[in-house]
Chain A
């Protein structure tokens, strides 16, 4: 009986203590700390500095050599050797939704790690909640010339996005503008087999889709191929999404744009959207679009499984679903086209915001400048400007850098495309390229540009040549005039977004008549849209 008591008491104590010890003591902010560190962007601390960080992980990723782990690999060692900064992954989750949710919970409970990479919504939230360190001084003193030059290519737009009340509250990324357009990726081997031209106009696309369905392009004797896959998550800007069909009609859902009269309007409710929906509805009814696209759990399953020979996606698709597609079917040869072209031969597309992810630093940590130093070192390593970065194996996914935001020229994709294409054509010497591209070129050449030999070296090469080729064409890009959130949006967006998604989807799938769009527009205005529009106009100073 006595033993019982002891065990019970002990277990109760453990429970109580275990819960109590999770209460973290707030570290005392030390104002003097930054002054002790000389203004050297690549400073190596005499003693190890540890930063806790939030890290999204991709369990599917197999690019780490054996023996390496997410928190101990070539990248973490590289940063540690150069700067003596160590990262402690205190918050991890599967990348995508699970990670976003975990970060949201951490923000909500005010229990955030020292450093995180977050989206614009979270950034605003944390600024409002006064959770972040002011990085104005840190940036001034510690940002490397290389990083400052990259920001200069955005004409100050990127830093402005992270600036609130003249204080820099985060280190923004720079989104390569080449990431925005959704090109038509199509299987050249199927086109050749069926004797078809590369599609240009919107009707060409429909004709090719029809042929891909009916003429058995994979030659297995079964009618199991489809035309265009769609996106289960976001049918305008998601995976496989129809953004390019919308922009062909001059429709830009979710964008704030100027209408013909020059006043700011919401893209989702413009009459052009109706034209785009009508076309997609027609295609769906004719069976040209995957009949079950809204229910798919995995947007790319048809592409990687060799069932579809065309889809819309950005230039870097070889890094994504096409990697699987060529692995599963080495005969498949994919090309990217700027299609559909408008009557005057232009490709209408959209732009992405100049920055969409931000490094934020928790208020009051001892070494906020360590974050900037780590970012400088990562940028120098990733761009290959540091000679020691030569020994980094580029087959390892760059996502394993402990603290990574892409900071580079806004037009980086086309620059790199030109370098690589010219070098392969012999117009340029390999050593004239930037180190990063030398590496990609050398590895791809070594493997004969053959995905079957080494997929990892083929992916960047193919993305930077074939994938980004249409970026040089005549693009007609629309800009989103307003990307942050207003007060009424916070309240009403859940309802309005749901309505928009439902209406678009039901019209395309023929579950509602085309006229449902007009009802949606009226509803949208009535349920808060008018107020949102006037708030946006006010914010833009109209």
Chain B
């Protein structure tokens, strides 16, 4: 590697990105002070009363905090695992399809839901899952009693995870399909000559080639372990399923925005950011160890 001469124009190209980063990520950091204040908007950062760690204390004293944390972790981890497995399997299956137009149209169809908003999808889901909706009519055909899916704590988390996977897996599939096309075809040819079956080819060539991609995406998604998806749950939940569906974000929305406790809401946000930050560092270390993934 010869050392490049200093290229001014390349650095200039960085400028818009850096400006945006400073404006929208660094400057708002000053808002973190709200987490340690009893924030009164009109008084602003400078004149609001400082309360130290009171907001955090309050958060841990809340009777609901254990349930909320559990729900958040349960739903988020469920989503991470399902969103890892389903796209890989689907990409492998789609990869076996030899009809080009079919492959392409299936791919397009499955990643379309990614672009729909949860507001619309929640409406469709509520209709499908209602007592006289399509699902219950099918169940009714077998003579079973209708189930109130969205009012039942045993069903709610799986509906949340399931619908999220249905919405996002097509989009995740694209990454794996790209990785699959990057595998050297001569490997398969050599394996076929050696008499490997399709299953053996999958096991000894495809999966090992995909391994770095899978590990990378899995470790990077660890940073989302406290994000269970506000949009989705907010549009689907109701007081009946607070026990199983109320997550940190929805609770903060109700406590912070509706009951005007900005300090508390910011404290929670900060706590989430700190935890996510630590997790991202850990996952980055893991990623560099297992998948040779490095930024620097």
Q: What residues make up the interface of A, taking CB atoms closer than 8 Å to B?
A: 1, 4-5, 8-9, 11-12, 15-16, 19, 101, 104, 107-110, 121, 125-126, 128-131, 232, 291-292, 294-295, 297, 490-491, 493-495, 498, 501-502, 505-506, 509, 511, 523, 527
Contacts and interface: CB of A to CB of B under 8 A. Distances in A.
Interface stretch (B12-20, B81-89, B99-107, B272-280): B12-20
Interface string B205-246: 000000000000000000000000000000000111011001
Interface in B4-63: 9, 12-13, 15-16, 19-20, 23, 39-44, 58, 62-63
B227 to A, nearest CB: 20
Interface in B112-127: 123, 126
Nearest to B265: A108
Contacts, number: 104
B240 A511 contact: yes
B259 A493 contact: yes
Contacts of B258: 494
B9 A4 contact: yes
B19 A15 contact: yes
A232 B260 contact: no
A104 B40 contact: no
A125 B41 contact: yes
Contacts of B123: 297
Of all A-B residue pairs in the complex, the 6 with the closest CB atoms, nearest first, are: A129-B42, A494-B255, A131-B42, A108-B41, A129-B40, A501-B239
Given A104-B257, A292-B131, A494-B259, A19 B63 contact: no
A9 B15 CA distance: 8
A509 B254 contact: no
Given A15-B20, A505-B239, A295 B42 contact: no
Contacts of B247: none
B16 A8 contact: yes
B269 interface: no
B130 A490 contact: no
B80 interface: no
Given A292-B130, A294-B240, A495 B62 contact: yes
Contacts of A131: 41-42
Given A15-B16, A292-B151, 10 more contacts: A15-B23, A16-B19, A110-B41, A130-B42, A297-B123, A494-B254, A494-B258, A495-B62, A495-B64, A498-B242
A110 B257 CA distance: 15
A294 B131 contact: no
Contacts of A107: 41-42
B42 A110 contact: yes
B148 A295 contact: yes
Contacts of B58: 491
B262 interface: yes
Interface in B131-167: 131, 148, 150-151
Contacts of A1: 9
Given A110-B44, A128-B40, A494-B255, A291 B148 contact: yes
Contacts of B130: 292, 295
Interface residues of B, number: 40
Given A297-B126, A493-B259, A501-B239, A8 B13 contact: yes
B201 interface: no
Contacts of B261: 490-491, 494
A101 B257 contact: yes
B260 A129 contact: no
Contact of B150 (A128, A295, A491, A506): A295
A232 B16 contact: no
B260 A125 contact: yes
A229 to B, nearest CB: 14
Contacts of B64: 495, 498
30 contacts: A5-B12, A8-B12, A8-B16, A15-B20, A15-B23, A16-B23, A19-B23, A108-B41, A108-B262, A125-B260, A129-B40, A129-B42, A129-B43, A232-B238, A291-B131, A291-B148, A294-B239, A294-B240, A295-B150, A295-B238, A297-B126, A491-B58, A494-B255, A498-B64, A498-B242, A502-B242, A502-B243, A511-B240, A523-B63, A527-B63
Contacts of A498: 64, 239, 242, 246, 254
Contacts of B251: 494
A104 B39 CA distance: 13
Nearest to B39: A108
Contacts of A295: 126, 130, 148, 150-151, 238, 240
A495 B63 contact: yes
Nearest to A234: B239
Nearest to A105: B257
Nearest to A15: B19
A108 B256 CA distance: 11
Contacts of B16: 8, 11-12, 15
Which one of A9, A493, A495 has the greatest number of beta carbons of chain B within 10 Å? A495
Contacts of A12: 15-16, 19
B151 A294 contact: yes
Nearest to A126: B42
Contacts of A291: 131, 148
Contacts of A502: 239-240, 242-243
Nearest to A106: B41
A116 to B, nearest CB: 13
A86 B268 CA distance: 42
B42 A104 contact: no
A490 B259 contact: yes
Nearest to B40: A129
A523 B150 CA distance: 27
Contacts of B62: 495
Contact of B260 (A292, A490, A501): A490
A294 B19 contact: no
Contacts of A527: 63
A329 B238 CA distance: 31
A363 to B, nearest CB: 8
A455 to B, nearest CB: 27
A317 B44 CA distance: 43
Contacts of A4: 9, 13
